A and B are shown apart, each in its own frame.
Chain A
Amino acid sequence: MTEIWAIFGKDVRTEYRTRYAVNALFLFALVTLTALSFATGGAGISPLLAAVFFWVILFFSALSSLAQTFVKETETKTELFLKLTAPDDAVFFGKWGFNLLLIVLLEIVLTPLFVVMLNVTMTHWGIWITTLLLGGIGLVSTTTLLGALIAAANVRGALFSVLAFPVLLPLLVTAIRVCEVCLGGRSETATGDAFLVLGAYAVISTTAGWLLFPFVWRD
């Protein structure tokens, strides 16, 4: 547990010094949101379309910077040091915690901006927050494992979103459906089921990511 905190703390500190990932993440999200807001011209868009916009922004901004946590270790050549000093589980959950922090911050900033700039009406805040939390955990578990995989494969950039999209598809489809309900879309009868799917996705991806991580990390 202390090792997890140590790695988490180290990532937060190095991130605070450079602010590379945070800048990339927030500016990317802001630019995309502005582009969409500008394009729709403040005209009322349907709840479904708004939910799709939100998750597309979240998905691509997450992919633009979440792989960075591992790629950074390779680039600064600190990877070997981390491998020697910290147990695999601590590395995975330390990085996982850092990525989760980034995503939760992004969600906190993005939601009000989204409501203001796209002129949507939020009808169910509770459901919205639960969806973002559960969806965020699934998103982070998947991207943490795949980020390590990208760093280990020595291939950057484009391949990350290609690898992440098919495995994130069930999460995206479900999250978009629930968010549509929160924005005043169809009835909310099935949100319980959707939460189960998002919860199951979070549990499966975290467990699978944790169990598979040593095989990516150690060669």
Chain B
Amino acid sequence: MIFVKVGAVILITAVIVAAFLTPPPLTAMASGGDASRLFYFHVPMAQVSFLSFMVAAAFAIAYLRTRAAAHDRVAATSAELGMIFSVVAMITGSLWAKQAWGAYWNWDPRQLFLFALVLFYGAFFALRQATVNVEARRRLSAVYLIFGGAISPLLFFVLPRLYRSLHEDANQVVTAAATKPTMSAQVAVVFVTSTIGFLLLYLWLLQLGTAAARIHEEIGMREAKS
């Protein structure tokens, strides 16, 4: 665990410094010039938000198989982190989009995916809070996570391709940004470091959040007893 914590702090600090010291990764005007430094933060955060969704769905499956409360805690915590990461990815993404494409929000397929993810997490927490019975809450929210997880590949992998063929004119802009120019070695090093850094940060927060959820549940149980 200490490796994860120290690693996350060192790598993310290094990336913050490197992102501002090195030249912007995409220099073309269409990619937003200086704003393209957001690449180092936006892309890893979007990746982590998708990963945390998959982790949550995996632990939801584990919960339905074993009915162990620990699995439910990991799934719920991972979903909470996914919500935070996807909101931050949405904000950084739209700041970058304003510079590169001229508008904060363009309904590009990737934006649609992040938006659906945020809505999904919102619905997930609404469902959890609305269900009073603890056992039912865990079971039903696990079902919802797995169902969402089964649908998500369509949004994440298939729709972007379909959109390109259906949405020719607007996609000129999108494709220009989506086909990344071959990364220089320097950019690649910073990007990979950033991805690992955010991954470690996610693991750290997941461990903290799960522990907090366990304590929260124990306090609730003791209060119910007394």
Contacts and interface: CB of A to CB of B under 8 A. Distances in A.
Contact of B130 (A159, A186, A216): A159
Contacts of A146: 144, 147
A190 B164 CA distance: 10
A159 B130 CA distance: 9
Interface string B118-142: 0110110011001110011101101
B162 A190 contact: yes
B135 A163 contact: no
Interface residues of A, number: 36
A155 interface: yes
B162 A174 contact: yes
B165 A162 contact: no
Contact of A169 (B112, B135, B143): B112
Interface string A169-212: 11001100100000000100110011001001100110111001
Contact of B165 (A153, A165, A189, A207): A189
Contacts of A190: 162, 165-166
B130 A212 contact: no
A66 interface: no
Given A165-B123, A205-B151, A174 B159 contact: yes
A153 B140 contact: yes
A208 B147 contact: yes
A154 B137 CA distance: 11
Nearest to B167: A177
A75 interface: no
Given A186-B166, A215-B64, A200 B158 contact: yes
Given A153-B131, A165-B119, A194-B162, A173 B150 contact: no
Interface string B156-196: 00110110011110000000000000000000000000000
B140 A149 contact: yes
Contacts of B168: 186
Contact of B151 (A154, A167, A177): A167
A152 interface: yes
Q: Which secondary structure dominates chain B's binding surface?
A: helix
B123 A166 contact: yes
Contact of B147 (A155, A193, A212, A219): A212
A215 B135 contact: no
Contacts of A173: 112, 159
A31 B166 CA distance: 32
A17 B221 CA distance: 47
A146 to B, nearest CB: 8
Interface residues of B, number: 36
B120 A166 contact: yes
B154 A201 contact: yes
A137 to B, nearest CB: 14
B116 interface: yes
A200 B161 CA distance: 15
Nearest to A208: B150
B154 A204 contact: yes
B106 to A, nearest CB: 14
B151 A194 contact: no
A169 B150 CA distance: 13
B209 interface: no
Given A154-B131, A215-B142, A145 B147 contact: yes
Interface of A: 142, 145-146, 149, 152-155, 159, 162-163, 165-167, 169-170, 173-174, 177, 186, 189-190, 193-194, 197, 200-201, 204-205, 207-209, 212, 215-216, 219
Closest 10 CB pairs of A and B: A166-B120, A166-B119, A208-B150, A190-B165, A155-B130, A170-B154, A153-B131, A169-B116, A190-B166, A163-B123
20 contacts: A149-B127, A153-B131, A159-B123, A159-B126, A167-B147, A169-B112, A174-B162, A186-B166, A193-B166, A194-B162, A194-B166, A197-B158, A197-B162, A201-B151, A201-B154, A205-B150, A208-B150, A215-B142, A216-B139, A219-B135
